[in-house]
Amino acid sequence: MEDISKKIALSGIQPTGSVTLGNYLGAVQNWRKMQEDFSSIFFIADMHALTVKREPADLRQASMSFFAQLLACGIDPEKAIVYFQSHVHQHAELQWILNCNTYVGEISRMTQFKDKSAKHADNINMGLMDYPVLMAADILLFQTDLVPVGQDQKQHLELTRDIAIRFNNRYGDTFKVPEPYIPELGAKICSLQDPLVKMSKSDPDPNAIVSIVDDEATIVRRFKRAVTDSGNEIVVREDKPGISNLINIYAAIEGKTPADVEKEFAGQGYGSFKIAVGEAVAAAFKPLRDDYVRYLNDKAALMELAKKGAEKASWLATKTLRKVRKRVGLVE
């Protein structure tokens, strides 16, 4: 983070499930590029994960696993700050101050709150509603310039910008107003069981996803079970979402165009193509899985990296929070 000429980019990921093929091609690969181009901050959003019911031991294990997965995917603690959100108390402290500058009407309009409330009707808690303000604190705490956002987070980033502008207008210039970062478009990877929806790490059907922690046999088996379409042509076409999804996956993994893939497998059947895609993904994920296992098997070293990341993040966060506390009138 020493290079002040670089813009600051920040992204967090909740420790739910595992880093899937969709996450890897659509987001994490771009994070690897971000750490070369920007002063990058990546965190495990374990505090956000508390909004839904989780067994404590499961959450702890999943958080450690995700930290190891990010490192295995090429996120380098020497090039970026990587840490657990809960290890930097300034996130929660800034959230409270921002809560006092956020209107109830703004929060009640958040579509994700409505969606998650419907999914977790037995646990509609204040954390679920206040999630966007914690996200705003995550971003504003580091004077972030750029935030990679998907369609489901655009509304939250807009709220963050509104909160920052309102705070700056009331108390004086305090926060950078972050901009959305639109990375290079990664391949859109869909579920292996429902190719009309995006592959999700929280999908309850294990056959719908493959992840970097899966072994070769599991990956190939899930591709063998992948939903395809009627006919036997291996082509990208709107009326063939299943085979189009598999073509896009193979093309992204092999660094080819979909047209190249169509030529390569012209005249072949779905069965042999699904095996080829599975084997290509398994081969690409093997070094990642090996690194993941290595990191996870040395928990002391893993926690030392997390500690160093939290110390760097806390140093930056303290600078912002000190300014915020002074602005709102808290006694030094």
Quick check: is 198 catalytic?
A: yes
Name the catalytic one among 176, 201, 240, 274.
Answer: 201
Q: Are 141 and 266 within one domain? A: no
Q: Are 175 and 231 within one domain? A: no
Q: Are 29 and 153 within one domain? A: yes
Q: Are 166 and 21 within one domain? A: yes
Residues 128-170: tens digit of each pLDDT: 889 899 999 999 999 999 998 766 678 889 999 999 999 999 9
Q: What distance in Å separates the CA atoms of residue 72 and residue 74, rounded to the nearest whole number?
A: 5
- The pLDDT assigned to 52 comes to 84
Q: Are 154 and 233 within one domain? A: no
Q: Are 141 and 222 within one domain? A: no
Residue-wise DSSP of 100-128:
TTS-HHHHHT-HHHHHHHHHTTT---HHH
Name the catalytic one among 6, 7, 198, 308.
Answer: 198
Contact (CB, 8 A) for 148 and 11? yes
Q: What are phi and psi of 193, to 5 degrees?
A: -105, -20
Name the catalytic one among 116, 176, 240, 274.
Answer: 116
- The pLDDT assigned to 167 comes to 98
Contact (CB, 8 A) for 85 and 91? yes
Q: Are 181 and 34 within one domain? A: yes
- The pLDDT assigned to 230 comes to 87
Q: Are 34 and 69 within one domain? A: yes
Q: Tokens 């909004």 identify what position?
A: 51
Q: Which residue range(s) make up the domain with 84?
A: 8-186+298-328
Residues 52-79: tens digit of each pLDDT: 888 999 999 999 999 999 999 999 999 9
Give the C-alpha distances (Å, rounded to integers) separating 78 from 17, 276, 312.
Answer: 26, 36, 11
Residues 224-243: tens digit of each pLDDT: 999 998 888 999 999 999 99
- Amino acid present at 322: R
Q: Are 309 and 172 within one domain? A: yes
CATH number reported for the structural domain that contains residue 253 in this entry: 1.10.240.10
Residue-wise DSSP of 135-160:
HHHHHHTTT-SEEE--GGGHHHHHHH
Look up the pTM and report it. 0.88
Here the contacts of 320-326 (C-beta below 8 Å, separation 24 or greater) are 320/90, 320/94, 320/140, 320/141, 320/142, 320/143, 320/175, 321/90, 321/93, 321/94, 321/141, 323/174, 324/94, 324/97, 324/174, 325/97
Q: What distance in Å separates the CA atoms of residue 159 and residue 290, rounded to the nearest whole number?
A: 40
Nearest Cα to 84, choosing from 314, 310, 296?
Answer: 310
Q: Tokens 């995700």 identify what position?
A: 66
pLDDT of 330 over the 70 cut: yes
Q: Are 167 and 23 within one domain? A: yes
